[in-house]
Amino acid sequence: MTSSEPAKVALVGCGAVAEVLHAPTLRALVTEALVEVVALVDPNPARTAQVGRLLPQAR
């Protein structure tokens, strides 16, 4: 990875803290091209979908 490439990150756990704190922060970092959210992981598909609406580029 060079300094011009965004870091690839996965958000593991899509509960309330992820929705309220982590997702908005990651979205801001995506906007600045500092990170690329490549995956969302949670055993509850509804939570993954909810956070996925905030980070639509994530798989």
So what's the pLDDT on residue 59?
A: 82
pLDDT in tens, 1-47: 557 899 999 999 999 999 999 999 999 999 999 999 999 999 999 99
What is the helix (H) or strand (E) element at residue 52, kind and residue range?
helix 45-54
Domain locations along the chain: 7-54
What is the rounded CA–CA span in Å between residue 37 and residue 8?
A: 6
pLDDT of residue 2: 59
Lookup result for tokens 């929705």: 19
pLDDT tens digits for 34-45?
999 999 999 999
Q: Is the pTM of this model over 0.85?
A: yes
